[in-house]
Amino acid sequence: MTQTIQAVRGMNDILPDDAALWERLEEVVRSWAHAYGYRNIRTPLLEHTALFRRAIGETTDIVEKEMYSFVDELNGESLTLRPEATASTVRAAVEHSLLHHGPQRLWYAGPMFRHERPQKGRYRQFHQIGAEALGFPGPDVDAELILMCARLWDDLGIEGVRLQLNSLGAPAERRAHRAALVAHLERHADDLDADSRRRLATNPLRVLDSKNPALRPIIATAPKLLDHLGAESLRHFEGLQAILQDAGLPFEIDHHLVRGLDYYNLTVFEWVTDRLGAQGTVCGGGRYDGLFEQIGGKPAPAIGFALGVERLLALVLDAGGPVPPTPQDVYLVHQGDAADRFAFVVAERLRDHGFSVAHHCGGGSFKAQMRRANASGAQMAVIVGDDEAAAGAASVKPLRDERPQVRLPLDALPDGLSQLLYADDS
């Protein structure tokens, strides 16, 4: 027997039963983004590897070990499946001079690719929804993005997602903090794990991000970024907090929140939950005022966030269970040569009038077709036999109650069907 071929490890099929939930999310997300004035952007899944190396940073987890990079054998270019979409969005904004006429509010949704160890809530192809506010210095827009996240949790009926905030300050402040941090970590060098010792040399801030419980005491006593912020950075951070307080949105300041990517400054935030086990971060974001320049554009302040759709949907399921499938209005049953052909006229006419129609295909007895109609969940069976075809008519049989079957001429069918579907039974 021929061996079957399976999906690539860590890359999931989203089957129709689950896709209903994804579609509902997509609807909610579209109107939510519109409510804040964010416009959709769609960038390619493949980018030049150099983009991510430069934007995300050489010493980050993503660039060091998670990227799907390969050489295009046809022209020798090094390409990478996008591990995130901020770099791509900024690349597109620079390439198409999007900020020429002023700042831009953008959102995106789609698959991202990271070569990680697959586990619950962590996949190699996963999906993000993100928003980027380009050309705004903040902190007003920082607050807007955070409030936007909070509204999405509400719109989806999700509870118990907590906001954690920190400020990474300006680059010079980070450097001062870095020097103090390196000194602190070097004093504890003997107690660091191998990974942290390596990071101490390459990217010491990332040690604060370590998930190794043994390092907790060292991390807890480490110098805090906040203590190194200057007046301007503090004003930005306090401005953001004031707006969140006015909005009644609770938050925690987490001194060890540094985010995994190099491009952040000032505001960084994460939304976390205890309901998802180890992969508890649903959403992460931050300000990246240096990124435009870093990839060769004119400097522009910017901030954005990305949320993990798989983790978000796990929370939606946790809050209310799966979405029931939406059946068609009509299941179209037909039998006989003339009827089989007339059925197409009926089906298209109904769709012209906005009805959804499951057209029975594959023949079978009238009885067998009616069984399918019942199982489909449709409200009505529309039945076409050779008699109906000869008369240019169709019969409508309500499937979910005892009302009698009625025969209607084709021209009267849409209205008659509306009445049966939408009129109340009294």
129 binds ligand ATP (CB under 6 A): no
Nearer to ligand ATP, 196 or 281 (CB): 281
Angle CA(227)–CA(228)–CA(229) in degrees, nearest 5? 100
Task: Determine the Cα–Cα distance for residues 44 and 31; give it in Å rounded to an integer.
Answer: 23
Nearer to ligand ATP, 84 or 388 (CB): 84
Could you check whether the bond before residue 139 is cis, i.e. omega within 30 degrees of 0?
yes
Choose one: 96-104, 281-289, 390-398, 417-425; the region binding ligand ATP (CB under 6 A): 281-289
Sole binder of ligand ATP in the list 103, 110, 135, 260 (CB under 6 A): 260
275 binds ligand ATP (CB under 6 A): no
Task: Determine the Cα–Cα distance for residues 365 and 371; give it in Å rounded to an integer.
Answer: 10
Helix 16-35 with 309-320: angle, nearest 10 deg: 100
284 binds ligand ATP (CB under 6 A): yes
Sole binder of ligand ATP in the list 49, 53, 55, 84 (CB under 6 A): 84
Angle CA(73)–CA(79)–CA(80) in degrees, nearest 5? 135
281 binds ligand ATP (CB under 6 A): yes
Map the footprint of ligand ATP across residues 289-308, applying CB under 6 A. 306-308
Sole binder of ligand ATP in the list 105, 114, 177, 236 (CB under 6 A): 114
- Is the Cβ–Cβ distance between 138 and 165 less than 8 Å? no
Least distance between ligand ATP and beta carbon 119 (Å)? 9
Choose one: 39-47, 121-129, 150-158, 400-408; the region binding ligand ATP (CB under 6 A): 121-129
Task: Determine the Cα–Cα distance for residues 147 and 142; give it in Å rounded to an integer.
Answer: 9
Task: Determine the Cα–Cα distance for residues 313 and 108; give it in Å rounded to an integer.
Answer: 17
Nearer to ligand ATP, 48 or 122 (CB): 122
Count of residues near ligand ATP by CB under 6 A = 19
Task: Determine the Cα–Cα distance for residues 368 and 54; give it in Å rounded to an integer.
Answer: 62
Task: Give the 3-state secondary structure of residue 167.
Answer: strand
132 binds ligand ATP (CB under 6 A): no
Sole binder of ligand ATP in the list 128, 233, 267, 335 (CB under 6 A): 128
CA–chain centroid gap for 277, Å, is: 19
* DSSP codes joined into one string, 375-417: HHT-SEEEEE-HHHHHHTEEEEEESSS-PPPEEEEGGGHHHHH
Least distance between ligand ATP and beta carbon 209 (Å)? 8
155 binds ligand ATP (CB under 6 A): no
Site residues, ligand ATP (CB under 6 A): 84, 114, 116, 121-123, 126, 128, 260, 279, 281-284, 306-308, 310-311
